[in-house]
Structure 1
Amino acid sequence: MINQNATYMEESAQSAVDNFGLGFNLGNTLDANGCGTGKPVATYETFWGQPETTQDMMTFLMQNGFNAVRIPVTWYEHMDAEGNVDEAWMMRVKAIVEYAMNAGLYAIVNVHHDTAAGSGAWIKADTDVYAATKEKFKKLWTQIANALADYDQHLLFEGYNEMLDGNNSWDEPQKASGYEALNNYAQDFVDAVRATGGNNATRNLIVNTYAAAKGENVLNNFMLPTDAVNNHLIVQVHSYDPWNFFNTKTTWDSECHNTLTEIFSALSKKFTTIPYIIGEYGTHGESDISVSKSSPAEKIKLAADQAADMVKLAKDHHSATFYWMSIFDGSDRIQPQWSLPTVVEAMQEAYNN
């Protein structure tokens, strides 16, 4: 195991975001869940159809124009009744972080499907749930932060993914108190990580809005955590916008472009003193239909144009983007080779020009 502690250099949140460049989500991998407890680690990692992650995959990303990878991780099937994380699972998370570090990538580790609408979700934007789970949540982050403490500034932590209320409301919580619960979790995340000290005292941390959404009420009710250090927090939202365009559009038109410009305008007006990122984007819409290598050529072109527009707008606004899966998916990760090379080329051209 490489000890990154000797090379740690404090980096501001904005500097990190500027350096992310193009980002990719290692989705349906360590975030896969639903097969129960007590299985071999590889059973979880491959449960949703992805291969086991390798060093070659991370090296491929870095050598082909990407500078950052988001590593979604679901934890609930790997914790005992006292909230202790299984050692074998934590070691696998560390191994994949190590692959990213060896490749020279920035890496984001999060708490993923422990939130949202799945049957295992135990972190909710609900004051009663928060009261019952806050100590478990803080204990989880204390363990993660301690286990990964030696890695340098290229590793970031993201407190939670798409946190929903008890009714699994996506746009905004049904009760205003849902925002209070989310903001409390965000503060607990920051406090727990900072308390572990060492590199984590100034490591850049990411907090998400409610459901990682970006509506007016969601943005107005989001409260940035208080941090012991300045300039080390990043806000994250997700954007599969315009929603359901992949099912309803044949070309990326001015209506689509204007939707994205309005999103970035709203985010930049809200977050004037802190950087923000688009931690997930892509073509997913109703019935979870999304682009793939078997999509018609016009649909792949549609995906490429969306990605290029998103990347350019993000760069113009000093933000960064992380594509959700489709460009590097399934057996193509083993090769490794792009699943959607023309989409990647459009992203690279938009970022580099």
Structure 2
Amino acid sequence: MNNRFKAILLLFLCSTFFFSCGEDEEAEPITLSLSEEILNFNAEGGSQTFSITSNSSWTIETSVLNAEVTPRSGTGNGEVTVTLGLNDIETSITFYVEVKAGSIQKEVAVVQEPAEPQFPDYYIPADQTGMRDVPNLELAMDMGYGWNLGNTLEAIGGETAWGNPKATQELIDAVKAAGFNSVRIPVAWSKFSNPATFEIDPAWMARVTEVVDYVIANDMYALLNIHWDEGWMQPTYAQQDYVNDRLEKMWIQIALNFRDYEDHLLFAGTNEVMVEGDYGTPIPEYYQVQNSFNQTFVDAVRSTGGRNSYRNLVVQTFNTNIDHGVNFFELPEDKTAGRLMVEAHYYDPYEFALQENETITQWGENATDPSRKANWGDEAHADAQFMKMKTNFVDKGIPVLMGEYGAVLKKAGEHHEYLKDYLKYITESMGRHGLVPFYWDNGYAGDYGFALFDRQSGEQIHPDLIKAVTGQ
């Protein structure tokens, strides 16, 4: 074979090879299937597997760091093991194991149950006996007109130290007979506690219990709180841990003492929490810390179990101010749905309601002398403020208690009639907006006092003002 022929044959063979190898052959499509769509783990964790069926190489991705997934890659059919450790939190964990083969991606959901709740020694199982299955808005409306016992159980030095006699069953009976259906009971606990452990004196706890029983005996609602109590609840970062610890310890004791009471007893966590002397708009530090006090209160009460698992609890806006409530309030998380209420107070306009002089003695549309009337805080103002609470809370299923409102009785003779106008309009406006009114009665019947009842006899001091409040 000569060289020329060899060259022609070689060229022919190469051409044939390249033409045959260059023809497009249809590639086999990639397939991928998984044996499981979901893997369910209990809180203790463990290992489970799922199978991969594929004709291609594959890889696995997952974003959860504490889950062990092996192997993370392979070719063709394979088996993957998912291993989880203990879930020590009281919420479930869900993540996804993603399997990719070429452009195909499939996933397996991995769900781990939450840890069993860890209960303190004093906890008892939730008990709904006597706790009516009534929506909180409906229960709030059943509270009717509310009346405050004032500072009787807050007086530094003892119950009678600030001029009021001890509260009696006869007094509460008279309040009930006058048309009130709820009594707010402000309490100071610290003077009767161990300052190192915050342990409440059993004798003082028993006395507060007596007063609560006066209310319950009349089939009325009792609203029990921790009031000003010498102002230890300062909402600052520096005091936050201290206050939350103290608040928790005290509310656990209170909640345990009253745990067996049915739903005519409500707890209110605090009162007018603010930085002492600062009545301005709170900075974020102040309202964020105050919001944490509300959460501590709810958690402490719920931790006791029993009927307290279902009790209606009342939390406060910053300084119980309406505008601060609309702008800065954060509703606490609660394990029990639909059992929280919000509290605010109303003393507008200050010049008429609280200022202890005779400069401003007229109020409202019936005022005849502009010089004796504040230039703000009239009927339209009240309606607008209460509408804010209705829109932001009541319309969203959260009841609002106006835990304090009222105005001092000034010495000027004309003031009484304007005070009656004020109480009637403010109370009715609260009702129209779905708010529950609690008149502030400090028991003092002298100049610039709020008293409606004689604390000794229970007799009505100002029947016309009582009628203005109760709508009689």
TM bracket (short chain): 0.7 to 0.9
Task: Give per-residue Cα distances to partners, 1:182-207, cap 9 Å, x unaligned.
Answer: 11110010011011111110100101
3-state SS, counterpart of residue 308 of structure 1: helix
Equivalence for 2:139: 16
The reply to whether residue 198 of structure 1 matches residue 306 of structure 2 is yes
Q: 1:64: Cα distance to partner? A: 1.6
Assess if the C-alpha contact under 8 Å between 2:390 and 2:434 holds in 1. no
The 8 Å contact of residues 172 and 210 in structure 1, kept in 2 or not, is answered as: no
Which runs of no fewer than 5 residues in structure 2 stay unpaired? Answer: 1-127, 366-375, 444-449
Note the C-alpha offset of 1:63.
1.6
Correspondent of 1:306 among 395, 403, 422: 422
Residue 308 (structure 1) shift = 0.8
Can you list the C-alpha shifts for 1:57-88, whole angstroms capped at 9, x where unaligned? 11111122110000000111111011100001
Q: Which moved more, 1:104-113 or 1:299-308?
A: 299-308
State the match for 2:209 in structure 1.
Answer: 94
Please report how far the alpha carbon of residue 250 of structure 1 lies from its aligned counterpart in structure 2 after TM superposition. 3.6
Please give the secondary structure, in 1, of the residue aligned with 2:274: coil
Find 2:363's aligned residue among 244, 247, 252: 252
Query: How many percent identity over aligned positions?
Result: 33
2-structure distance, mates of 1:301, 1:10: 43
Match of 1:46 in 2: 160
Gaps of 5+ in 1: 36-43, 115-119, 284-289
Structure 1 segments of 4 or more deviating over 4 A? none
Give the C-alpha shift of residue 16 in structure 1: 2.2
In the alignment, which of 172, 181, 184 is matched to residue 67 of structure 1?
181
How far off its partner does 1:145 sit?
Answer: 0.4
Provide Cα deviations, 1:251-303, integer angstroms capped at 9, x if missing partner. Answer: 332461112111112212221321112110011xxxxxx217xx444212122
What is the CA–CA distance in structure 1 between the aligned matches of 2:132 and 2:288, rounded to whole Å? 34
What is the Cα deviation at residue 18 of structure 1?
0.2
1:129 aligns with 2:245: no
Contact between 1:68 and 1:107, CA under 8 Å: does it hold in 2?
Answer: yes
TM-score with structure 1 length normalisation? 0.86
Which one has a larger percent helix, Structure 1 or Structure 2?
A: 1
Higher relative contact order, chain-length normalized (CA < 8 Å, sep 6+):
1
Work out the CA distance in 1 between the residues paired with 2:452 and 2:423: 20
The residue type equivalent to 1:113 in the other structure is W
What secondary structure sits across from 1:153 in the alignment?
Answer: coil
SS in 1 for 2:181: strand
Equivalence for 1:148 = 258
Residues 1-353 of structure 1 aligned to structure 2 (within 5 Å): 7-33=130-156, 35=157, 44-80=158-194, 81-114=196-229, 120-165=230-275, 167-173=276-282, 175-215=283-323, 217-246=324-353, 247-254=358-365, 256-271=378-393, 272-273=395-396, 274-283=398-407, 290-291=408-409, 295-325=411-441, 329=451, 332-349=454-471
Shift of the 331–158 alpha-carbon distance from structure 1 to 2, 3 Å rule, reads closer
Give the SS at the match of 2:161: coil
Alignment partners' CA distance in 2, 1:133 and 1:311: 34
1:23/1:69 contact within 8 Å kept = yes
SS in 2 for 1:253: coil
Aligned partners of 1:127 and 1:180 also within 8 Å: no
CA distance in 2, matches of 1:305, 1:341: 14
Deviating more after overlay: 298-307 vs 140-149: 298-307
In 2 relative to 1, CA 223–237 (structure 1 residues): closer, same or farther, beyond 3 Å?
A: same
Name the CA distance, whole Å, in 1 between partners of 2:388 and 2:258.
34
Contact 1:25 1:322 in 2 (8 A): yes
* Greater percentage in strand: 2
Other-structure match for 1:286: none
CA distance in 2, matches of 1:259, 1:232: 30
Alignment-derived partner of residue 287 in structure 1: none
CA–CA distance in structure 1, aligned partners of residues 285 and 325 of structure 2: 12
Measured against aligned partners, the alpha-carbon deviations of 1:163-186 in whole angstroms (never above 9, x if no partner) come to: 012x5312332x311111111110
Contact 2:317–2:325 at 8 Å: present in 1 too?
Answer: yes
In the alignment of these two chains, the number of paired residues is 321
Root mean square deviation of aligned Cα: 1.9
